[in-house]
Chains A and B, each alone.
Chain A
Amino acid sequence: MLETFLLTTFLMSDTVAPDRVQNLDEVVIVSAEGRGRRRSVKGQSASIDEHLGELRKVNLVRRGSYAWEPVVNNMQTERLSTTIDGMKIFYACTDKMDPVTSYVESGNLQSISLNSGLDGNPQATGNIGGSLDLKLRKVGFDSDPRHFNVSAGHEWNGHLQVYGADAALSGSRAYLNTGLFYRDADNYRTGGGEILSYSQFSKVNVFANAGLRLSDKDILESTLIFDRATDVGYPALNMDVSKAQGFITSVSYKHQFGSAGWETKAYYNHIIHIMDDTTRPDVEIHMDMPGDSWTTGLYSLLTTSLGGETGAQHDVAVNYDLYYNRLFADMTMYPGGAAPMYMVTWPDVGTLNTGMAVTDNVSIDDFQSLRLSGKVAWQQQRLNNEEGYRGQKVFFPLMTDSYFQTTGRIAASYQLSFSKSEFSIGTGWGSRAPTVTEAYGYYLNNTFDQYDYMGNPHLKNESAFELNSSAQYQDERFSVGIDANVFLFRDYIIGRLDDRLSAMTVGAEGVKVYRNLDNATIANISLDAGWQLTDRIVWSGRVSYSLGRDDEDGPLPLISPVSWRTELEYGYRSLQARVEVKGNGDQTDYAARYGETRTPAWTIVNLSASYQLRNYSIRAGVENLLDKRYSSYSDWNNIPQKGRNIYLNITFEL
C-alpha cells in the first residue's frame, strides 16, 4: 500500500533510512524534534491515543478516558499487529482493557508508523487490517550534545494534569534518552455537565534508550520502559483497574557493511494487569481477575540496496523473528458467604512463533515503483494450565493441549508518480491464527453485547484477500485524493450464539462461541481535499465511508459510519490557529445481530492554537466548544465523550 504524496514530502525528511524500506503508509510524529505536520494539536502532552487518532485509517475504541484500542481499516486488535520498535508485546487483560499502546507514553516515542492492510512491517504477523509500529525516541549519535525538555499540561475538564521531563545526551560514541512522565485525571464531564463516574486514571512512566558505538560500524542499543497505570476507571465496563504495569526491555546490535545494515534485537516484556471492582457499588459478586503476559523474542533484520544506476533499484529487507509469549488469566468470584468460585480464563497459553519476512521496494524508473512483501510464520501453541485445559475440554472433547499453525501474507503494489499526481494499486493475501481469546478464552464476558464468550480451539485460520487503490492530485493551491480498499475474508472469526450453553456472568444474555464465517467483507473509502486559500490560510477536509458485511450480508459490528472532518488553519510566523469541525453520520448500518446499538449523528467544533516563543511552546485550545453531549459508534456501550474541555500545554526546551 502506497503512501500519499502529501505525506511523502515530510516522510523523506523525517524518517531514517531503514524506514524507507518499510514504505510507511502513514506516520504520526510524536516527539518535539519531529517536524512533521501530522501530529496532535496538543503537541507533546497529547496521549498516545490522541496521536493515534491523527492517523487517517485509525479509529479508537474507547472504554474510558484511558487505554483506547486502536482500530485500523475498521479492524480491531485481533486483526492488527502492534509492535514497539519491532518488539512483539501482547496485552494481558481478557477484556481488552489494555491495548499494548497503553504501556508506553508519547514521550517515549519518536513516531508511530502505520502500514495499512496486509503489507506489514517485517516483524508484523497476523496483520490483516494493518500494522502499527511505535518507534522509540532515540537521539542518535552526533546530535545536539544536550537537549532538555520539560512540559506541563492541564485540561480543565476532568482536571487532567500532564507533566513530563526528558533529556537527550548525544556524543560520537554514546547517546542517551531518558524521561519521566506523569498523568493524572479525575472524572470528566460529558456534554451538558454531567460527571461521568469511573473515568479517572493515573499513570507514571519512566524510560531510557541508550546507544553505544562500539566501532565505526557497530552499535549497541538498549531500551528500558517501565509504565504503571493505577486507579484506572472504565465507565463502559463493570470493573476498573487497580494496576496495569508494563516492563519493556531490549538490547540490539547493529552492524553496517557497505550499503547494508544488519540489526539484531533481543527483547523481553512483562505485563501485569489487575482488574478491580471493589470501588463499585452494588457488585453482586466481587471478582478478582488478574492477567499476565510475558513475551521474549528476537529479530534479525538485514536491509540493503541493490541495483540502481541504470537499472531498477531494489531496497530489500529480510527479517527473521522468533518470539515466545505466555498468557495467563484467571478469575476468582466471591459470592457473599459461600465458597469462592475459580476458573482459568486464559489457560497459560505458550505461543512459540517464528517467521521470515522479505520486502523489496523496487524503483523501476523515475515514475514507477513496485513494492513486494511477504512473510511466512509458524507457531506452536501449548496449554500449560491443566485446570484451564480440562475446563475447556468439556466444551470441545476432541481438543488437545497443543496446536500448530502456519500463517503467511504476501502483498504487491504498484505506484505511478507524475509531478502533480500519483496513482497506486495494490493487492495482497494473508492469514492469521486465532488469538488466544478466540481459541482458548473461557467465559469471557463482553459488555458490548452482554454475552459470555467461549474460545474455540477448532477454529481455522482466518484469511483475507485485499485490493487497494489510491489517486492523488496536488498543485500549488489544491490537492485532492481518493483512497479505497476492500478486504474479502474467508473463515472470518466472530462470536456466534450457542443456545445450548448457559451464561456464567450474572446478567449475561447467553454464551457465544467463536466461529469461522465462510466469508465477510470490509471496505473503506475516503476522499480528502486541501485548498491554500491565502498564504496564511489553508482549508482541508476529509470524508470516509466504510462497510462491513458478514456471511449473510448483515452488518459487522464496530464499522464506522460516514465520518467527516473539515478544518481551517491559519499560520503566521510562530502562531498557528485552527478551527476544526468534525462529526459522524447517523449509524444506520449497525450490527444488531452482534449486540450493537445505533449511534446517532454528531458534530463537534474544536479550536486550537499554538505559539512558539523562544524556548517555550504554548498550546491551548477548546475541544467540543459547544459542549455537545455525544458518543461515537466506537464508544463502548455508548459512553458519552468529554464535554467542553479547555486545555493549556506549555513545553520548555533547552
Chain B
Amino acid sequence: MDLKQSIMNIGKYLKFGAVALFGAVLSSCNSNDDLGKQEIEIPGITIDGDIDCCSAEEALQVYKFLQTVKIIPELSTEIDNKYNVYAYSKTGKLHGGYNDIYFVATKKKNGNYIKNYEIPALKPIMLMVKMNMKHSTPVSAGVESFNKNYLAVKRGWVSFVMNTSDAGSWTLSYDYSVLGSEGTTAEQEIIVDALPDGQQWLKSFKVGSDTYYLSLVNPLDWSTGKNTITAFVSKKNTPATTPYGLAGEQFVIEIDPRMPDMGNHTSPDNVGLSRQSDGSYQGTVNLTMTGRWRIHLTLKDAQGNIVAGGDDLSDGYSSLFWEVTI
C-alpha cells in the first residue's frame, strides 16, 4: 500500500513532468514559428474552413470526447452520399433501462463535424414475436447539445423496458435533419442486453388506466457518499408504438435507500426527487458503502396523494424500487 501509493505519486509527478515538457515543446515551437499558424491535426479530419463545420479547436474537443465513448455501428447512417451520422454509447452497446446515446454528424468530404443538425425523434420498437405485438419505450424528445465545449455532440436517451430475448427484438430508427437533408433512417435491429443481477433501473406504475415509467439515469456513476439522483417519468402512449415521452403530470418521488444484504441498512439525509425545468427529476441519494442498494420509492401527485409505491409490504418497504449495485 505504502509503496503502491508512492509509485502512484511518482507516476503523478512523471505525468506532471510530461505535461510541463510538452508545454515547453509547444511554446518553443510557437516562438520559433515565423512561417504562419501551425495547424491542429485530427485523424480523419481536414480543417478546410467550411462554415458548416467546427473550427480546429472545436473539432479537437469533439474528437477528444468521442474517445471516451464507443460507436454503435447499427445506428450509424449515411445521408445523401454527403453526410454521415454516427451514434455512440458509453460501451458501444445498449442495455435494459436508461441509455445515453450521443450523436455527431460529419461531412463526407472533410470528415469534420457539422455544427447545426437535428435528430428530432428516436423511435425504438419492440416486436413481441409470440404475441405479434409491437410497442415502443420511453425516450427523450430528440437530442440536444449538453456541453458547451463540444456543442456538435448531441445527446438523447432511450430507456428500454425490456431486453432482447426469445420473446422479442428491438429495432431503432430516428428522424434527422442535416443541412437541409431530412428523412428517417431504416429500422435497424439492435441488441438490448439484459442488466446483470442487482441492477433494476426502470420500473413502471399505473394510475388508473395510464402506465408510467420511472427511468433511473446512469446510477453506475454513483460512488460512496453524496450523489445526485436523476430520473425521468415517461407515460405510455396509445398507440403503444409511438415512443413514450415525458409525463405531463408532475409528481414527487420520495426515496428510501436500503441495503437488503445488510438488514436493510439505510443512510441519512436523502432528498426525494422533484421535477426540474428540463423535465428531469432530481434529488440526493447518500450511499454509505458500495454494494447492492434498493431505492424504495413512494410517488405522490401534485396534491400529495400517494399514487404508487409506499405500500410497505411485509418487509416494511415499498414494493416499487430501483436496484443499483455499485
> How far apart are A103's CB and chain B's nearest CB, in angstroms?
18
> Judging by beta carbons under 8 Å apart, are B268 and A341 in contact?
no
Which A residues are CB-close (under 8 A) to B268?
394-395, 500-502
Determine which residue in B198, B262, B269, B289 has the highest number of CB atoms from chain A within 10 A of its CB, and name it: B289
Is B267's beta carbon under 8 Å from chain A?
Answer: yes
Residues in A489-504 with C-beta less than 8 Å from chain B: 500-504
Which B-chain residue is minimally distant from A507 (CB atoms)? Answer: B263
What is the number of residues of chain B that contact chain A, defined by CB distance less than 8 Å? 26
> How far apart are A226's CB and chain B's nearest CB, in angstroms?
17
> Judging by beta carbons under 8 Å apart, are A387 and B224 in contact?
yes
A389 CA / B226 CA spacing, docked (Å): 11
> How far apart are A268's CB and chain B's nearest CB, in angstroms?
11
Q: How many A-B residue pairs have CB under 8 A?
A: 88
CB-defined interface of B196-228 with A at 8 Å, one 1/0 digit per residue?
A: 011000000000000000000000000111100
Is A340's beta carbon under 8 Å from chain B?
Answer: yes
> Judging by beta carbons under 8 Å apart, are B291 and A339 in contact?
yes
Assuming the contacts A387-B225, A503-B263, asked whether A394 and B288 have C-beta atoms less than 8 A apart, the reply is: yes
Is B80's beta carbon under 8 Å from chain A?
Answer: no
Assuming the contacts A338-B292, A339-B325, A387-B225, asked whether A394 and B261 have C-beta atoms less than 8 A apart, the reply is: no
Which B residues are CB-close (under 8 A) to A502?
264-268
> How far apart are B14's CB and chain A's nearest CB, in angstroms?
20
> Judging by beta carbons under 8 Å apart, are B265 and A390 in contact?
no
> Judging by beta carbons under 8 Å apart, are B267 and A343 in contact?
no
CB-defined interface of B262-279 with A at 8 Å, one 1/0 digit per residue?
A: 111111110000000000
> Judging by beta carbons under 8 Å apart, are B289 and A342 in contact?
yes
Q: Which of B198, B225, B291 contacts A390 (CB 8 A)?
A: B225
Which B-chain residue is minimally distant from A335 (CB atoms)? Answer: B261
Assuming the contacts A294-B2, A394-B267, A501-B268, asked whether A443 and B223 have C-beta atoms less than 8 A apart, the reply is: no
Which B residues are CB-close (under 8 A) to A341?
259, 261-262, 289-292
Q: Which of B263, B290, B325 contacts A506 (CB 8 A)?
A: B263
Residues in B282-297 with C-beta less than 8 Å from chain A: 286-292
Which A-chain residue is minimally distant from B288 (CB atoms)? Answer: A391
> How far apart are B292's CB and chain A's nearest CB, in angstroms?
5
Is A328's beta carbon under 8 Å from chain B?
Answer: yes
Which A residues are CB-close (under 8 A) to B266?
502
Which B-chain residue is minimally distant from A452 (CB atoms)? Answer: B265
> Judging by beta carbons under 8 Å apart, are B1 and A292 in contact?
yes
Which B residues are CB-close (under 8 A) to A395?
268
Assuming the contacts A292-B1, A338-B261, A339-B325, asked whether A394 and B225 have C-beta atoms less than 8 A apart, the reply is: yes
> How far apart are A7's CB and chain B's nearest CB, in angstroms?
42
Is A333's beta carbon under 8 Å from chain B?
Answer: yes
> Judging by beta carbons under 8 Å apart, are B262 and A506 in contact?
yes
Assuming the contacts A501-B268, A506-B263, asked whether A333 and B291 have C-beta atoms less than 8 A apart, the reply is: yes
Which B-chain residue is minimally distant from A337 (CB atoms)? Answer: B197
Which A-chain residue is minimally distant from B226 (CB atoms)? Answer: A394
A341 CA / B198 CA spacing, docked (Å): 12
> How far apart are A337's CB and chain B's nearest CB, in angstroms?
8
Assuming the contacts A339-B325, A340-B291, asked whether A504 and B262 have C-beta atoms less than 8 A apart, the reply is: yes
Which A residues are CB-close (under 8 A) to B1?
292, 328
Q: Which of A292, A342, A389 contacts B290 (CB 8 A)?
A: A342
> How far apart are A399's CB and chain B's nearest CB, in angstroms?
11
> Judging by beta carbons under 8 Å apart, are A391 and B289 in contact?
yes
> How far apart are B39's CB and chain A's nearest CB, in angstroms?
39
Determine which residue in A270, A338, A344, A443 has the highest number of CB atoms from chain B within 10 A of its CB, and name it: A338
Which A-chain residue is minimally distant from B264 (CB atoms)? Answer: A502
> How far apart are B322's CB and chain A's nearest CB, in angstroms?
15
Is A147's beta carbon under 8 Å from chain B?
Answer: no
Residues in B222-243 with C-beta less than 8 Å from chain A: 223-226
Q: Which of B198, B223, B269 contacts A339 (CB 8 A)?
A: B198
A443 CA / B325 CA spacing, docked (Å): 20
Which A residues are CB-close (under 8 A) to B288?
343, 391, 394, 443, 504
> Judging by beta carbons under 8 Å apart, are A503 and B265 in contact?
yes
CB-defined interface of B1-23 with A at 8 Å, one 1/0 digit per residue?
A: 11000000000000000000000
A333 CA / B261 CA spacing, docked (Å): 10
Residues in A370-410 with C-beta less than 8 Å from chain B: 387, 389-391, 393-395, 397
A589 CA / B287 CA spacing, docked (Å): 40
Which A residues are CB-close (under 8 A) to B262?
285, 333, 335, 341, 504, 506
Which A-chain residue is minimally distant from B325 (CB atoms)? Answer: A339
Which B residues are CB-close (under 8 A) to A292?
1-2
A627 CA / B289 CA spacing, docked (Å): 47
Residues in A541-594 with C-beta less than 8 Å from chain B: none
Which A-chain residue is minimally distant from B285 (CB atoms)? Answer: A394
> Judging by beta carbons under 8 Å apart, are B224 and A343 in contact?
yes
Which A residues are CB-close (under 8 A) to B286?
394
> How far apart are B277's CB and chain A's nearest CB, in angstroms?
25
Which B-chain residue is minimally distant from A511 (CB atoms)? Answer: B268
> How far apart are B271's CB and chain A's nearest CB, in angstroms?
12
A287 CA / B292 CA spacing, docked (Å): 16
> How far apart are A585's CB and chain B's nearest CB, in angstroms?
39
Assuming the contacts A341-B289, A342-B291, asked whether A393 and B226 have C-beta atoms less than 8 A apart, the reply is: yes
Which A residues are CB-close (under 8 A) to B259?
341
Residues in A508-528 with C-beta less than 8 Å from chain B: none
Which B residues are CB-close (under 8 A) to A342?
224, 289-291
Which A-chain residue is minimally distant from B198 (CB atoms)? Answer: A339
A500 CA / B264 CA spacing, docked (Å): 15
Which B residues are CB-close (under 8 A) to A506?
262-263
A335 CA / B262 CA spacing, docked (Å): 8
A-B contact pairs, 19 of them (CB 8 A): A292-B2, A333-B262, A335-B262, A338-B197, A338-B261, A339-B292, A341-B261, A341-B290, A344-B224, A390-B223, A390-B224, A390-B225, A394-B225, A394-B288, A500-B268, A501-B268, A502-B265, A502-B267, A503-B265
| Besides A342-B290, A389-B225, 11 other A-B contacts (C-beta < 8 A) | A292-B1, A328-B1, A333-B291, A338-B197, A338-B325, A339-B290, A393-B225, A394-B225, A504-B262, A504-B265, A504-B288
Nearest 10 interchain pairs by C-beta? A390-B225, A341-B291, A335-B261, A343-B289, A394-B286, A502-B266, A342-B290, A339-B325, A391-B224, A506-B263
